[in-house]
Amino acid sequence: MRALFESVCGDCDEKIRTGEEIARTDRGAWAHVVCPPSKLDLQRPVCTVCFTEISVSGACMCGAAS
Ligand SMILES: [Zn+2]
Ligand SMILES: [Zn+2]
């Protein structure tokens, strides 16, 4: 069903916004049907040279090429 009010997802702990598809978990909590990617993933930059995601450590495929 679609969320009728804002709440917090029981699976990923991210906010559920009104209108998002949610389902009730076996624990009785509401959760996203498909949880969004974590904020960490969304904020991860992409290297403009090799076009791979730069990891948390700052590495990308540029260093792995040689
Ligand atoms: Zn979720
Ligand atoms: Zn790179």
Surrounding ion ligand 2 within 5 Å at CB are: 47, 49-50, 60, 62
Contact 22/31 with Cβ under 8 angstroms? yes
pTM of the prediction? 0.55
Task: Tell me which residues have their CB within 5 A of the ion that is ligand 1.
Answer: 9, 11-12, 32, 35
| pLDDT tens per residue across span 21-53 | 999 998 899 999 999 876 555 667 889 999 888
Spell 22-35 as b/e; 16+ CB within 10 A means b. Answer: beeeeeeebbbeee
Instruction: Please give the distance, rounded to the nearest whole angstrom, from the Cα atom of residue 48 to the centre of ligand 1.
Output: 30
Beta-bridged to residue 24, according to DSSP, are 30
CA of 4 to the centre of ligand 2 (A): 43
Query: What is the CA(57)–ligand 2 centre distance, in A?
Result: 13
Q: Please give the torsion angle defined by the CA atoms of residues 66, 48, 51 and 12, in that order, rounded to the nearest 10 degrees.
A: 120
pLDDT tens for each residue of 52-66: 888 888 889 997 655
